[in-house]
């Protein structure tokens, strides 16, 4: 009875190919081999540099506010507060898993994780740390609201697309932009540049930029996003 040994057949095939050819590469293959290799960086290096830049930007913001509004002699209160706020921001950004290569590739969707963490730091952790440093009630400087919950929900919806996601994101963007622009108009008509108003203004600028970016993305990709919403039913 005839039996075929697969291993021996493969060896014979390779031997025939080797005997029939000197192993020369084609011109295209040689060009590929000769092409210079692009310099690459590991994920750890990219993430580390991104976190360092982020921490420097946050600390610079804190020091700018400190230099603009704080009288000399109060470094013992403000400088630790800046350091604590920067540290907690980094912890929250990592807890939200924003510092991943995959997250960097989906910038629009991941922005809302960053926005929620940023809002928690600016509106809650920074004021609480400041109050603790001054020895007053922890809620003294907190401006309570729960917009950050909506930001987290929106971020989750953008990452896990549902039939309602497009219209939800569109509605929230328009409402947020309208609210922030109205608040800016009222504030700038008679501005009071205290440290807390400056803190609030910077936070709102960041939020406004995020929602303008999202609105532009939704409008520019409306047709494709509606198809995605329909296919997710």
Each residue of 141-183: pLDDT tens digit? 887 777 777 877 887 787 777 888 888 889 989 999 999 999 9
For residue 103, what pLDDT is reported?
Answer: 67
Question: Is residue 35 one of the residues assigned to a domain?
Answer: no
Q: What is the pLDDT of residue 185?
A: 94
Q: What is the pLDDT of residue 175?
A: 93
Structural domain includes residue 206: yes
In a domain, 201, yes or no: yes
Q: Which residues of 106-135 are buried (b: 16+ CB within 10 A; e: fewer)?
A: eeebbbbbbbbbbbbbbbbbbbbbbbebee
- Compare 10 and 86 and report the one with higher pLDDT: 86
Whether residue 185 lies inside any domain: the answer is: yes
Q: Examine residue 36 and state whether it is found in any structural domain, yes or no.
A: no
Coil, strand or helix: which one is 231? helix
Predicted local confidence at residue 179, as pLDDT: 93
* pTM summary value: 0.60
A 10 A CB-CB count for 194 gives 10
Q: Which residue segment(s) compose the domain that 171 sits in?
A: 43-231
* Residue 130: pLDDT over 70: yes
Radius of gyration of the chain (CA): 28
Would residue 12 count as lying in a domain? no
Could you give the C-alpha distances from 197 to 9, 156, 191, in angstroms and in order? 79, 30, 9
Asked if residue 160 is part of any domain, the answer here is: yes
What total number of domains does the chain contain? Answer: 1
| Residue 34 located in a structural domain | no
Question: What is the average per-residue pLDDT within 127-132?
Answer: 79
Q: How far apart are the first and last CA of the chain?
A: 58
């Amino acid at each position: 009875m005839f039996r075929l040994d697969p291993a021996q057949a493969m060896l014979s095939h390779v031997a025939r190919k080797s005997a029939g050819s000197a192993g020369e590469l084609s011109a295209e293959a040689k060009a590929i081999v000769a092409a210079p290799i692009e310099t690459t960086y590991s994920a750890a290096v990219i993430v580390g540099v991104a976190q360092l830049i982020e921490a420097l930007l946050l600390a610079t913001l804190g020091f700018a506010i400190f230099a603009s509004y704080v009288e000399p002699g109060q470094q013992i209160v403000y400088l630790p507060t800046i350091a604590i706020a920067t540290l907690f921001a980094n912890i929250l950004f990592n807890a939200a898993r924003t510092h991943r290569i995959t997250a960097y590739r989906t910038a629009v969707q991941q922005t809302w994780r960053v926005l929620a963490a940023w809002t928690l730091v600016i509106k809650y952790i920074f004021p609480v740390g400041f109050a603790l440093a001054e020895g007053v009630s922890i809620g003294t400087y907190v401006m309570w609201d729960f917009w950050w919950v909506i930001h987290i929900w929106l971020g989750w919806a953008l990452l896990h697309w549902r039939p309602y996601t497009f219209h939800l994101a569109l509605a929230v963007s328009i409402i947020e932009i309208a609210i922030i622009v109205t608040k800016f108009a009222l504030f700038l008509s008679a501005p009071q540049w205290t440290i807390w108003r400056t803190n609030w203004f910077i936070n709102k600028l960041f939020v406004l930029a995020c929602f303008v970016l999202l609105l532009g993305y939704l409008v520019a990709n409306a047709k494709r996003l509606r198809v995605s919403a329909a296919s997710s039913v």
